[in-house]
Structure 1
Amino acid sequence: MFRTKSSRDRALKIAGLSLLFVILLFYGTRFISGISGKFYLSNPTFHILFSLNLLVLLVIFVFLIRNIFLFFIPHRSTRLRFKLVTAFSLLILGPSLFAVIISTSFVNKGLDRLFRLQMKRSVETSLLLARESLNLVADDIARFLKTFPSFKRVNPVEEGFEGICRIGKSVECKGNIEVEPLTVKKVLEVESIYSRFDVKKRELTVCVKRRGRIYCASRKIPSSFVKNFSQLEQLQKDYNMLKTYERPIKGIYTATFLIMAFLVLFGALWFARYFEKRINIPVESLYRATKKISRGNLDVKVEEEGTDELKNVIVAFNYMVEQLKALKEKLESEKNYVEKVINSISPAVITVSKDGEVISYNLAALSIVKNLEGRKQFMEVFSPYPEIKATVQELLLYGGGRREISEIVDGNERFLSVEVIPFPDGEGSVVIIEDFTEMVNAQKMSAWKEVAQRLAHEIKNPLTPISLSAERVRRLISKQDVPEELKRAVDKAVSLIVEEVEIIRRLVDEFRTFARLPLPEKKMEDLNRLIETYALAYGEKIKINFDFGDIPEIPVDKKLFREVFLNLMENSIDAGATAVSISTFYKDGRVYISFRDNGPGIPENLRDKIFSPHMSTKKSGWGLGLAIAKRIIEDHGGKIYLVDGNTFVIELPA
């Protein structure tokens, strides 16, 4: 079974920490043993206890360093977290460390006061005084032993002794006294006064050499003196023992205070971390949510956690985000509504900043100005349209206004109304361009209809008398005896008059048709079949190619539609075309019919006027054919337009 990389890393970390503990423990104990000397080595209990203390200290130290790294190193960029942890740590750690330092100082000073030289001298001097007092008593006993007259006559009790002994070849004692052989041996060795104090019996025994013999006497010492002397001896022993404990005791206290300090620091860091989580995590959540909102994302919600105050802030923040989201949705809805309204109107609307930069525009603007994509200067946008550019500049200069101009757009003359309305705050303006070319054409068409109606009425009436009078003149001349040349001349003149009258009559009929075009009587028809039927009459005059698509039946007046078809075919034949391509197709609820010939086409400068009543490229005729065709198609709810010089497209609703 293979071990994962994470488990191997964990094992290496544990092994490294264990090795670090062993090394630190080894060098720590060596350091302590160097300080404490023989005491440390001769006291295994202290050795074990101090090692355990050191081990605990090392464990706490390692965990403390780990927490410091976890708290500070990964979050150095998070200033709030760093400040919170540092502030709480210092707030808790400062007084605690101060207390530990003061306590350590007091303990060290107390120990120094305990082990200082004056204390040692006081103990030694007191004990020395007690021993001097015993020596004085011993000297007094020795003087007596050296000077008393006779051993036989001496009374120990009267002399204040417990007993007196004479030691020679034999031992003679009076009173309650015991002389140990060791005492006699020591007296013989030193050949001087020997004294021994038995604390338990409170007896001071003194022996001296006198005339080759040894005399010993013992005296009771007061119990108060014995008690004080015992206490002084014990005090000296205790002091000497404590003196050997000085450094270990200081080490124990130091280790204890260090453990307390590390525990306080560890607790401070944990406490700081706890409060940091209670404060910083909600604050960071608020910060991240705020960053998302600044990028336009309002689909955020912060979890309600933390202290009561922060929780209230988060609740208020979430409520604010919901309000902002609702407001944004409302603004977007209103914006979409305004955009729909602006895009649905026919005038072009362009907003321009005070610096001349195009800010926004509607769809109608693209039908007039083609290069509006991107934020551009209006001077650049209107550069292909000199009349619009000059008018906008003038109106901006004079603080707004309205002008009516004509401009060439896509090669066609367009009649435009240009209006500039400045913003109230002066931060920009609105440029409104309205195309009223259709209205002008409609006005022209109306005028032409009125002219055609009057011409048809005024001209048609005299045409018949003129034609009849010319025929009558020809008949009269033919009956008269006049030269043949005159007859031929009159006959030629009359024929010309009759021919021209017929031409004028046809023109009058066209004017009448144009002026009094009937409303269409629409029925559902198959346009593909109608076009194919109408085209049969021109099979010998021009080649016709059909490309019929799958189109539905639509409501049309086939008689009026025949006029449109015949007009287009006659125009192609008159222009010298030898072939015509007719195609149909259906798209987005409308039927499209395309007529394309191979003739010379309509000149570019006349394309925008081709549907005007007076416009014609032929030498004869008044140019009413395409005008009539356009009106018929418009009465059907459709459109007819020129795509290029050779292609007409008819668009009808299905």
Structure 2
Amino acid sequence: MRAYRISVNLKLGLIVFAVLIAVASLAYTNRLVRQLGEREQSIMQLWGKAYEQLSKAAQPQELNPYLPELRALEALLRRWQAGEGAGLPSPETIERYRRAVLWAQSMPQTSELSFITDAILVPNTFDIPAIVVDAETGRPVNWRNVPGVPDTLSIRSAEDSLRLMHRLEARLDAMAAAFEPIPIRIDYGDQRLEQRLYFDESNLVKQLRVFPYVQLLFVGLFILVGYLGFSYVRRSEQSSLWVGMAKEAAHQLGTPISSLMGWLEVLRLPGLPPAERQAALDEVERDVERLRRVANRFSDIGSLPKLERMAVAPVVAHTADYIRRRLPQQGKRVRLEVDVPPDLQAPLNPELFEWVVENLLKNALDAIETDEGRIEVQGWGENGKVHLEVRDTGKGIDRRQWKNVFRPGYSTKKRGWGLGLSLAKRIVEDYHGGTLTLAASRPGQGTTFHIELPAGR
């Protein structure tokens, strides 16, 4: 159940993560696009005013603001040349004044004109499509950055000119729908020329509008790949779990069945003494009890077992006795010591918890590769918790492999199938509400597993 909840929570977490990324990206991009749009509108208004000022500055009265004064000086020079007035300058001086006036009349005030041309209109640094249209005729008179239309005004043929105008007029409809045109008013004496500046979003803004959806696509692909990978790993673990369960069931049932078959052969012997027959029947009874316990274990794995508050020591001692009977068959001189206080109690399912202790002791026994070794089981109570540690003097586990110890299918034994620790962890955590952790392990120095259970009341 916990694995299923983790799977569902992970999937929901991925979906929520994707939604949050999409919402945050859309909100930020919309804000950025709005700011850039306002900036581009301000730029185009500046561009329109610059265009208007350039046309205004090109008129004669604007090119040289001192023309009236120069005309007055010119009239004075004409009187001097006619000999009118007192204290006339020499003819050479009058000629020099005349040339100075003519030169001043031809010099415009170019600083403002140069700034508008060089800093605003000519560089074209904003990459904003724009078309200037005559208000009366509706014909484009100037354009810039229009896709598919060159900025140059040089047209080779009438066909090129007609095709270019069609493209510009087609773009005008889209620009008019996007933004309100900016009016440009130019006065030539008593006449007024009106034009309109149409514009559209730059390529940068258009790309930014698409960016959140591209980002969402990549996030979706990432989640899809992660989901498929997670599903594959989960299916692989489930497959390993089922295979391991089948092998574990065969192993658990195989030992008492083999023993029963042997005792049946003993009971069939003719002339068997009554004492030996009774001993054989006692062994058969123990094997039958073992089979019942194994059946109950697998039955409780698929359901929520009932927990009863009981002493921990007898459960551990019963399993330790079973392991001790196997020690001579292993050909090892291993000491198995149990130190669990008799008053230490916790809510347990005895058959499942025996399976946990049995798996830990079997792993400890298999980890001892030398002829001699020691396994210790120690228990104590602390802060409303029951603690149980299983220590061995075996080969230990490399620190890089700690994270894989409880994974189904992981095993360092040549003939193991990597299910014992995974089942033990599930029984302790899912059925008893406790924890099973690898407390310590070093290669060549042994391993310590730690069980923590609620003491209950």
Bin of the TM-score, shorter chain as denominator length:
0.3 to 0.5
Question: Which protein is bigger by CA-based radius of gyration?
Answer: 1
Please report the TM-score for the alignment, with normalisation by the length of structure 2. 0.33
Please report the TM-score for the alignment, with normalisation by the length of structure 1. 0.24
